[in-house]
Amino acid sequence: MAGRSARRPVTRYRAGEVDRRVDTLAVEEPLEIRVDGEPFTLTMRTPGDDVELAHGLLRSEGVITSREDVQVMRYCSDTTTLNVLDVALTRAPGVPLSGQRNLASYGGCGLCGSSTIDAVAERVLLGSRVEHADVEVDPAAITRALDGLREAQTLFAKTGGVHGAAVASAQGEVLHAREDVGRHNAVDKVLGRLVLDDAPPAPLLVVSSRASFEIVAKAAVAGVSVLACVSAPSSLAADAADQLGLTLVAFARDDRLTVVTSPERVRQGAADAPAAS
């Protein structure tokens, strides 16, 4: 397994001038996850936090519901790199394994937006999600969490080439933050940390990307109450958040945000807003 960053010579053109220099790039390598010795999925990721990634991914797919469902997780000794992770389960998985990722297979024939959301809803029920109907956050807390995520993104500061995700308290205090070249991987890593810690669902998840259906699905299965993304939502992400009871916040940046679904969890007005003159 390589490090998280690598150096590479580049030639930069700026304002008619040529500058030859060495840039820092984010490392991208494959990770194969096997369940009980059988291939389950292959993902391209930034090396590091692989065990968290696998726990978060298997939790979101309904294969496990807690860390007790995993007997052991280790890198395969029959490979020359640390890019194959084998998971031995302690019991039968909640959703039968098909040899491929379930969420990634939703684009096949005969499926539509409603069927994808229904499949996620089954995973939410399987995990006995703790409801957070009484969770409320104010816009200032969301801004605080996003500021905390940016401060934690040390690899992004060096490379500009990774996404970040963080779980935070209802007051916007970042509890855990992770980075990865894949935005879904970053989410799996940070939610996987909660699985490993036997921690309760996080009230708030912030992500440095757009709001996709898969990120909404992962947040819902993990019992997150409020998901805030810095960019736009897709139509299916909004539909899924609405039907799954998740508060989806988009365009959360520069003290601005747009509440797309379940606005009752976001207080009107920011607690830190300046008084009108």
Q: Of these residues, 76, 109, 112, 229, which one is catalytic?
A: 109
Distance CA 27, CA 139 (A): 34
| Inter-residue contact 190 to 167 (CB < 8 Å) | yes
Q: 49-86 b/e with 16+ CB inside 10 Å = b? A: bbbbbbbbbbbbbbbbbebebbeebebeeeeeeebbbb
* 121 is annotated as contributing to ligand binding: no
* 256 is annotated as contributing to ligand binding: yes
Known catalytic residue at 109: yes
* 255 is annotated as contributing to ligand binding: yes
Q: 212-235 b/e with 16+ CB inside 10 Å = b? A: bbbbbbbbbbbbbbbbbbbeebbe
Distance CA 178, CA 163 (A): 9
* 254 is annotated as contributing to ligand binding: yes
Amino acid at 157: A
* 202 is annotated as contributing to ligand binding: no
Q: For residue 137, give the DSSP letter.
A: B
| Inter-residue contact 51 to 26 (CB < 8 Å) | no
* 253 is annotated as contributing to ligand binding: yes
Residues making up the binding site: 251-256
Which residues are marked as active site?
109
